[in-house]
């Protein structure tokens, strides 16, 4: 089963564009939880895959900007998503 934590990271970043984070808006938090719990396996896979692409892109930009902290942060997130893909395929 896909862990909520990874998808949660994606959704927080996704909704951050609206100017609010999950912790600031309880309705947004409830919407996010309902969305993840009711999403199909394919939808969750796409959410994770899109997050993976986004983190790789951010990591690449951080390499260009020579920002080691951002490289570390985004590479760690990308690795966690890849690990989740592998765990999902095994189970």
CA 68 to chain centre: 20
Residue 59 has pLDDT above 50, yes or no: yes
d(CA 1, CA 52): 18
Cα atoms in the 13 Å half-sphere on the side-chain side of 46: 6
Token digits of residue 24 = 């600031």
- Residue 44, SS3 per DSSP: helix
Residue 52 has pLDDT above 80, yes or no: yes
- 27 or 91: whose pLDDT is higher? 27
């Amino acid at each position: 089963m896909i862990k909520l934590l990874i998808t949660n990271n994606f959704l927080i970043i996704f909704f951050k564009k609206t100017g609010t984070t999950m912790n600031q808006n309880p309705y947004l938090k409830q919407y996010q939880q309902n969305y993840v719990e009711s999403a199909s396996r394919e939808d969750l896979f796409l959410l994770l895959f899109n997050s993976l692409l986004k983190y790789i892109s951010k990591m690449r930009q951080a390499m260009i900007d020579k920002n080691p902290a951002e490289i570390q942060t985004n590479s760690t997130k990308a690795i966690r998503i890849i690990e989740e893909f592998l765990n999902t395929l095994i189970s």
